Amino acid sequence: MKKILFTKELDPKQLREILAEGLDFGIYPALKIEIYPKERFQSKINYETYKFLISSQNSVKAISELELEGDFYVVGEKTAKKLKASGFEVVHFENYAMDLADYILKNSKSENWNFFCGNNRRETLFEKLTPKGHVLNEIICYDSIPNPNQIDINSYDGFAFFSPLAVKTFFSENTIPENSIIFSIGKTTNEEIKKHTKNRIITAEIPLLEKVVEKINEHYIRS
């Protein structure tokens, strides 16, 4: 039986439901997520602007109890759905920060934004938007904390990665065999993987857990 290591904190029951029969799995959270209480960051919100940027589901968890009126621009389909479910107004989402920045530049004048993010956010939105006159008020509302650990690598046939920082954390303590397959959630994660290994990478067409699992099922069961 083939066994896949998921390098993210996941619900085993949910994973079992979508992973094909005949496949086994392990879960190693390469990152620990600490969501801030709202009291820790609420004072940093600029209530004079009604434009918001959200780039992760963790940010949604952090702001879920806040009353924020305005337009939300979002990275990630699932993140957008969770925002809507929490009662926020999602104007537009893209699957990648680069694409969201391009959309904003094409469809919006220079704006002031509240940007809810983590302590290890990427620079993409700042690098694309600030040169064009957009002002991003960075509001850190959660921490992504590396959780390095040595894994029994030989117990696994494939490895699934979901963020560049998780990749970096994993490879700080581990080296995988050359014949192992790597499954990746998207382009930015791929870039980090290639810094550490030359193993084959199979990438989800849309950056969602379910799409990563689809690729795993296709590779091991349907091939």
**Domain residue limits, the chain:** 2-30+147-222, 33-144
Per-residue pLDDT, 221 = 86
- Which of 3.40.50.10090, 3.40.1360.10, 3.40.50.300, 3.90.190.20 is the CATH number of 33-144? 3.40.50.10090
Please report the DSSP string for the chain in residue order.
-EEEEE-S---HHHHHHHSPTTEEEEE--SEEEEEPPHHHHGGG--TT--EEEE--HHHHHHHTTS---SEEEEE-HHHHHHHHHTT-EEEEEESSHHHHHHHHHHH--S-EEEEEEETT--SHHHHHHGGGT-EEEEEEEEEEEE------GGG-SEEEE--HHHHHHHHTT----TT-EEEESSHHHHHHHTTT----EEE-SSSSHHHHHHHHHIIIII-
Mean pLDDT, residues 32-58 taken together:
97
Does 209 score more than 80 pLDDT?
Answer: yes
Q: What are the pLDDT digits (tens) for 113-167?
A: 999 999 999 899 999 999 999 999 999 999 999 999 999 999 999 999 999 999 9
Q: Does the structural domain 2-30+147-222 have CATH classification 3.40.225.10?
A: no
Per-residue pLDDT, 223 = 58
Q: What is the mean pLDDT of the chain?
A: 96
* pTM for the full predicted model: 0.90
